[in-house]
Chains A and B, each alone.
Chain A
Amino acid sequence: MMRRRDTLKLISSGATLIFTGLLFPVRVLAKWNEAAFAATDYQEALTTYFPNQQMTESDQITIGVRQEIENGSVVPIKIVTELPDVESIAIFVEKNPTPLIANFDLTPACKGFVSTRIKVELPSDIIAVVKSDGKLFYTKTYIIVHEGGCA
């Protein structure tokens, strides 16, 4: 006959399984953040996307982008980070009409690296926000754009 303690153990391990099963897809299929992507102010976009979270500046994030760009409609950019356990990499352009550009949710198999091409409207800071080990880190770099790319 099963003792009460064993039954409880069974129930709790089952519950753990169910919860891990539930949590993983939620993170992966996280909903596109309408409000943050629509925000027209950098601080608003940032705090909407990462509510109530502190960011620390880090020298373990590198933004690879040319410092002076002729045509802002195609700006190659890569973000590289040596930070451990990277969960996500987000890109913001402070002076763009909508400053939140893109977010990449990485899985443990991923290297701390993403590369893409973005539009930049005006000379502006570009900010990369990396979530590592549950905490937010950022670095920024200023680029000059001669012809805006958001039209």
Chain B
Amino acid sequence: MASSIRLRSRLRDGVCTVRAILRHPMETGFRNNMETGELVPAHFIKLVTVKHNDVVVLHCDWSRAVSKNPYLSFMFEGAKAGDKLELSWLDTKGESDSLVTTIE
């Protein structure tokens, strides 16, 4: 299966801009199923960690109110071409995914 993570980075003047899109339903637990009328249980990403060369640069704690298929962008200094960038997430069901990419 394709990764749930799309991770892009852009290096300019020593600043690395990271942009990511994670494929996830981000169910709030407030929504009713259109056909059965039953509440769809909450199911959302709680934790996201981004590492640069195995060192954490950003850590996120999220709620159910981050939109479906979450988007995340941030910037950090000290990266160079060829460095390793890794994003991982963990959701309320204990499911997780991670992806490693190279900064270009």
Instruction: List residues of chain A with CB under 8 Å of any chain B CB.
Output: 28-30, 32-33, 37, 73-76, 78, 93, 96-98, 100-107, 109-111, 113-120, 149-151
Contacts and interface: CB of A to CB of B under 8 A. Distances in A.
A28 B65 contact: no
A102 B58 contact: no
Interface size class on chain B is 20 to 34
Contacts of A73: 67-68
A143 to B, nearest CB: 14
State the 7 A-B residue pairs at the shortest beta-carbon distance, nearest first. A111-B75, A117-B67, A115-B73, A105-B59, A109-B76, A103-B61, A119-B65
Given A105-B58, A105-B60, A111 B67 contact: no
B23 interface: no
Contact of A74 (B30, B60, B64, B67): B67
B66 A111 contact: no
B99 interface: no
B66 A116 contact: yes
Given A109-B76, A116-B71, A101 B58 contact: no
20 contacts: A30-B61, A32-B61, A33-B61, A73-B67, A74-B67, A102-B61, A103-B60, A105-B59, A107-B76, A109-B52, A110-B57, A110-B77, A114-B73, A115-B74, A116-B70, A116-B71, A117-B67, A117-B71, A120-B65, A150-B64
Contacts of B63: 37, 98, 100-102
A102 B76 contact: no
Interface string B64-104: 11111011111111100000000000000000000000000
